[in-house]
Structure 1
Amino acid sequence: MGRSSKDKRDVYYRLAKEEGWRARSAFKLLHLDEEFNLFHNGVKKVVDLCAAPGSWSQVLSRKLRFLIALGSGKEENKDVKIVAVDLQAMASLPGVIQLQGDITNVSTAEAIISHFEGESADLVVCDGAPDVTGLHDMDEYIQAQLLLAALNITTHVLKNGGTFVAKIFRGKGKDVTLLYDQLRLFFTKVTCAKPRSSRNSSIEAFVVCENYTPPADYVPNMSNPLMDMNYDLYVNQLEGPNRVIAPFLACGDLSGFDSDRTYKLQLDGAAEYTYHPPTQSPINPPYKHACQLKSESKLAQEEIKAVSSQADLLD
């Protein structure tokens, strides 16, 4: 009998199959809700970014769409609206509006708001991740860019005081600290959580950002000069709170020496440099005697081998 895969030995994989979840990642959102009460405090409008295959949308649908009425079982809460966004199409879910689009486009944010009838979302979640390469540094960087893209569209659709939950790769890189600082610009409380359903061998974690409070006079803008290849290299068009890119400053005289080139040394008052021997000759290395002994020992071994080979031929 063949060896079972890691997923088939995993308890959350089996529970997901038994309870009808599309993926074991559904338990990650459930465990985050147990810790942070994500679905309470009147949450009615939710956005699920990078939703495919739809396990988190399933959790949102089951947790928010139904109210338990005393004596009459469950009743559907018609005020709840859930919008799931992904580049890939996924199977339909009851009570979930699906959008197939790019989260880096303004049109996607406008489509989300249109389904909320012009209002903003109470909660935005994102469980998206790139295809990992196994190179942790590269995976962390790509995941960080995906998180920033999710944060960018979140600033368009999330209401003040709302909550944002997203996956993050928490490795040894220093970029994680930078991400925390960027998130704290928009949220008063940022927590990094590791659900017990997330494998210990995985570097994934989740940032739970509470109480969305953007900077004063902040205007959401999808334009990102670091990713747009058609922008003017010498003019940064972003202003005010949107201007978060640190300027690059070249220190020193640009017409001076180039550190990657070789120049002839010229002194003041002299046409050409003249070599002068050092005042003290270099000291012999202390290991010179050891190197001599090693070479003599090697020669001696070679002579012994030569003599033994001649003796074998005579025999």
Structure 2
Amino acid sequence: MGRTSKDKRDIYYRLAKEQGWRARSAFKLLQVDEEFQILNGVTRAVDLCAAPGSWSQVLGRQLADVEGAKIVAVDLQAMAPLPGVVQLQGDITKESTAEEIIRHFDGGKADLVVCDGAPDVTGLHDMDEYIQAQLLLAALNITTHVLQPGGTFVAKIFRGKDITLLYAQLRVFFKKVTCAKPRSSRNSSIEAFVVCQDYAPPAGYVPTMKNPMLDVDYNDTNSALTGPNRFIVPFVACGDLSAWDADQTHALDLDTYTRLNPVQPPTQPAYKSAVEKLRSQDQVRVPL
């Protein structure tokens, strides 16, 4: 496979390098914002599961001219610094992490919380959907600690048979919930993004990390909702037909084309120790 193969197959991978984004996922947030204007009026934003930092990049660029704007990026692993972004290495299931976020906002709360986190997929769709749902609920849990009323929450979701149950849970906290599919997200992927607007927690609700929020018994009775208890999830495609197609192979003009390296290499790649061992054993130069 040639060095230009991925640039041909994935137009957004190529555009990300050309425009200086750390990952192609930056276009997903840009297209969600284009459809829903989620960044309007935002001065305090939180990016959960932020590494490698493409969504934090989008927030940093889009809010660069907003006076007093503050952005906090949270992840368990370290990532390379970004201008205008405060990085917090922490666990989103810990109350101390929520307290640290609010401390960075000088006691205030966020206008916007986004989360592009996802587990390492196994290929077993039911398992992947369940794990992603638990990650989404963990992100929602910390969001109830740090988001102010009227705020917006955007998170990745894997569309499956239980999406209506997740939608009903999100509707407990937000007046409007929409499932969006950006143009830059491949049609072959089951990923989508829930855009939850106008945060309005139930009267008397007290955020807590001690008990799993909205913990339910996933049996046939609860998962098979009927009548008025069953919600039809609004589904919106973000980006008009003039946008690039993420599933199409795009030709390259090899006479003028210049291949670019990724904007930000991994700070601590998992393969680093293996490469160092090969170098020490074989005494040969192995590129990282």
User: TM over 0.5, yes or no?
Assistant: yes
Aligned to 1:142: 131
Is 1:96 matched up with 2:77? Answer: no
Aligned to 1:224: 211
Which digits, 9 at most, give the CA deviation of each residue in 1:149-202, with x for residues without a partner? 00000000000000000000003x2x2111000000000100000000000110
Which digits, 9 at most, give the CA deviation of each residue in 1:60-85, with x for residues without a partner? 0000012xxxxxxxxxx441000000
Separation of aligned partners in 2, 1:112 and 1:64: 18
Is 1:85 matched up with 2:74? Answer: yes
Q: What is the correspondence of 1:1-315 to structure 2 with a 5 Å cutoff?
A: 2=2, 5-6=5-6, 8-40=8-40, 42-66=41-65, 77-171=66-160, 173=161, 175-224=162-211, 245=216
What percent identity do the matched residue pairs reach? Answer: 78
Separation of aligned partners in 1, 2:20 and 2:96: 33
Unaligned runs of 5+ in 1: 67-76, 226-241, 249-315
The one-letter code matched in structure 2 to 1:118 is: G
Which digits, 9 at most, give the CA deviation of each residue in 1:242-280, with x for residues without a partner? 7764699xxxxxxxxxxxxxxxxxxxxxxxxxxxxxxxx
The one-letter code matched in structure 1 to 2:125 is: H
Separation of aligned partners in 2, 1:247 and 1:179: 12
- TM-score, normalization: structure 2? 0.73
The 1:112–1:8 alpha-carbon spacing in structure 2 relative to 1, beyond 3 Å, is: farther
The one-letter code matched in structure 2 to 1:79 is: G
Q: Size of the alignment, in residue pairs?
A: 219
Counterpart of 1:191 in 2: which secondary structure?
A: strand
Unaligned runs of 5+ in 2: 220-288
Separation of aligned partners in 2, 1:159 and 1:245: 26
The 1:160–1:6 alpha-carbon spacing in structure 2 relative to 1, beyond 3 Å, is: same
The 1:128–1:244 alpha-carbon spacing in structure 2 relative to 1, beyond 3 Å, is: closer
Rg comparison, structure with higher value: 1
Question: Which portions of structure 1, spanning 4 or more consecutive aligned residues, are displaced by more than 3 angstroms?
Answer: 1-8, 242-248
Separation of aligned partners in 1, 2:218 and 2:52: 40
Aligned to 1:73: none
Relative contact order, higher structure (CA 8 A, sep 6+)? 2
The one-letter code matched in structure 2 to 1:200 is: N
